[in-house]
């Protein structure tokens, strides 16, 4: 999509209703003939645009495309999304982001793809990524923090995803330690953060975010580790992918800029509020019998789950299966 078409779409969204050729021409410094050509290009890409001689152009509907033009129309973020790379397909947006970050891509670059052929979960697991229905994106950050503080950014992305789900639906998402977002106990989003670091400096962090937006029941693989769902399945209404992507970038932007000024405190507080274990008793097992039991006591700055055992002794949990009793 050309930069003029992107700007025309932005004008349609800003002004609403009919926008005259004269206004477009004046604001974008392009001729009326050039506008006509761009409008026809947009129509070929699936946009339905009405043209009435005395009134101008009117955007009636937009395809559910994950294109820079569609996303830019909704995007208000300053840092996150200042460069957008939208792909029709790829192996994994995290791998693409890693490569771009190694080539000095600016902080805030976001890579999105319509589908992924080898979407990555944690520990070598696979993230199911059918085309055209969900959000798969990776954000490049260059935070001035120590490598051991990097898990803080995973918590930040979980809060951003939960906030965005609330913006587009009436659903009440919950966060499950360490990195899942759930709706009614079923996984709707997964986060995979990767980094390139030396002993005491982070070169960059990749926030990998997968959210099941419009996936149907048949599109889920049968052998998932935990029950899974999508926003469509839970709310009964499809979600515009570009709008969701832009709103998510907006929340990431707000949280990240606050994080850089005020540190991890605000993110930690909101994460703890939104955690499904908030105020609950937990049992943690290492695959076999329960090893620790106690009340949820939050998370620490290294990403550990804190559990208050009998007598108030705080245990730090770094891995394991967490059950709510
Ligand atoms: C995660 O791993 O939850 C991290 C997923 C991160 C995906 C994003 S998409 C954009 C970016 N690019 C990438 O290549 N990755 C990131 P984990 O906690 O290990 O969960 C993986 C497990 O969840 C799998 O083993 C399945 O059982 C299950 N699963 C796979 N696909 C799923 C889906 N679409 N929805 C819910 N569960 C799924």
Three-class SS string for 215-237?
CCHHHCCCCCCCCECCHHHHHCC
- Phi and psi at 250, nearest 5°, equal -60, -45
From ligand 1's centre to the CA of 77, what distance in Å?
Answer: 26
From ligand 1's centre to the CA of 164, what distance in Å?
Answer: 18
DSSP string for residues in 22-77? HHHHHHHT--HHHHHHHHHHHHHTT-EEEEETTTEEEEEE------HHHHHTT---
From ligand 1's centre to the CA of 90, what distance in Å?
Answer: 16
Give residue for tokens 């954000």: 139
- Phi and psi at 198, nearest 5°, equal -110, -175
> Tokens in use for 156?
């930040």
The reported pLDDT for the residue numbered 248 is 98
Tell me the pLDDT tens digit for each residue of 108-156: 999 999 999 999 999 899 999 999 999 999 999 999 899 999 999 999 9
CB-ligand 1 contact for 120 (6 Å cutoff): yes
Nearest-angstrom CA–CA distance, 135 and 13: 22
> Tokens in use for 35?
């506008």
Atom of ligand 1 nearest to the CA of 190: 3
CB-ligand 1 contact for 208 (6 Å cutoff): yes
CB-ligand 1 contact for 143 (6 Å cutoff): no
Specify the pTM. 0.88
DSSP string for residues in 150-219? THHHHHHHHHHHHHHHHHHSS---EEETTTEEEETTEEEEEEEEEEEEETTEEEEEEEEEEE-SS--GGG
The reported pLDDT for the residue numbered 73 is 83
pLDDT at 319 > cutoff 90 = no
Rounded mean pLDDT, 16-30? 95
Q: What is the DSSP letter of 321?
A: E
Nearest-angstrom CA–CA distance, 157 and 140: 12
Contact call for residues 116 and 136 (beta carbons, < 8 A): yes
Atom 33, ligand 1: residue with shortest CA distance: 128
Nearest-angstrom CA–CA distance, 69 and 266: 33
Nearest-angstrom CA–CA distance, 75 and 253: 11
- Residue 162: band (very low, low, confident or very high) from pLDDT cuts 50, 70, 90: very high
From ligand 1's centre to the CA of 226, what distance in Å?
Answer: 11
The reported pLDDT for the residue numbered 115 is 96
- Residue 164: band (very low, low, confident or very high) from pLDDT cuts 50, 70, 90: very high
**Averaged pLDDT of the chain:** 93
The reported pLDDT for the residue numbered 64 is 86
Q: Ligand 1 pocket check: which of 139, 158, 191, 210 to mutate, most ligand atoms within 8 Å of Cβ?
A: 210
- Of 58-62, 202-206, 251-255, 318-322, the poorest mean pLDDT is in 318-322
The sheet that has 281-285: what strands, in order across it?
314-317, 305-308, 290-299, 281-285, 321-324
Atom of ligand 1 nearest to the CA of 228: 36
Nearest-angstrom CA–CA distance, 300 and 196: 22
Atom of ligand 1 nearest to the CA of 113: 10
Please report, rounded to a whole number, the percentage of residues in the chain having pLDDT higher than 90: 80
Rounded mean pLDDT, 311-320? 89
pLDDT at 92 > cutoff 90 = yes
The reported pLDDT for the residue numbered 226 is 87
Contact call for residues 256 and 156 (beta carbons, < 8 A): yes
Tell me the C-alpha to C-alpha distance, in Å, between residue 261 and each of 20, 109, 143, 144, 248. 43, 20, 11, 11, 20
pLDDT at 191 > cutoff 80 = yes
pLDDT at 51 > cutoff 80 = yes
> Tokens in use for 126?
């696979």
User: pLDDT: is 319 or 83 the higher one?
Assistant: 83
CB-ligand 1 contact for 222 (6 Å cutoff): no
């Amino acid at each position: 999509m050309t930069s003029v078409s992107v700007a025309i779409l932005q004008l349609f969204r800003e002004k609403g209703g009919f926008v005259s050729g004269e206004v477009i021409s004046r604001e974008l410094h392009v001729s009326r003939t050039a506008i006509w050509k761009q409008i026809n290009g947009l129509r070929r890409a699936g946009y339905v645009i009405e043209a009435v001689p005395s009134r101008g152009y009117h955007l009636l509907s937009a395809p559910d495309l994950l294109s820079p033009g569609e996303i830019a129309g909704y995007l208000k973020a300053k840092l996150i999304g200042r460069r957008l790379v939208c792909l029709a397909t790829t192996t994994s947006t995290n791998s693409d982001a890693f490569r771009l970050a190694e080539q000095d891509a600016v902080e805030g670059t976001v890579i999105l793809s319509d589908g992924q052929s080898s979407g990555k979960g944690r520990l070598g697991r696979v993230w199911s990524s059918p085309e055209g229905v969900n959000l798969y994106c990776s954000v490049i950050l260059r935070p001035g923090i120590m490598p051991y503080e990097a898990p803080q950014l995973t918590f930040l992305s979980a809060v951003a995803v939960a906030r965005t789900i609330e913006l587009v639906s009436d659903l009440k998402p919950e966060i499950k330690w360490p990195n899942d977002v759930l709706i009614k106990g079923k996984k709707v989003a997964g986060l995979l953060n990767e980094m390139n670091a030396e002993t005491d400096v982070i070169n960059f962090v990749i926030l990998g975010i997968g959210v099941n937006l419009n996936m149907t029941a048949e599109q889920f693989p049968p052998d998932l580790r935990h029950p899974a769902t999508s926003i469509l399945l839970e709310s009964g209404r499809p979600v515009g992918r570009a709008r969701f992507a832009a709103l998510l970038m907006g929340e990431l932007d707000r949280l990240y800029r606050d994080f850089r000024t005020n540190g991890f405190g605000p993110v930690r507080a909101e994460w703890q509020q939104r955690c499904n274990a908030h105020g609950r008793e937990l049992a943690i097992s290492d695959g076999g019998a329960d090893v620790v039991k106690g009340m949820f006591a939050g998370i620490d700055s290294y990403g550990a789950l804190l559990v208050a055992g009998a007598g108030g002794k705080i245990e730090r949990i770094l891995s394991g299966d967490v059950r709510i009793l």
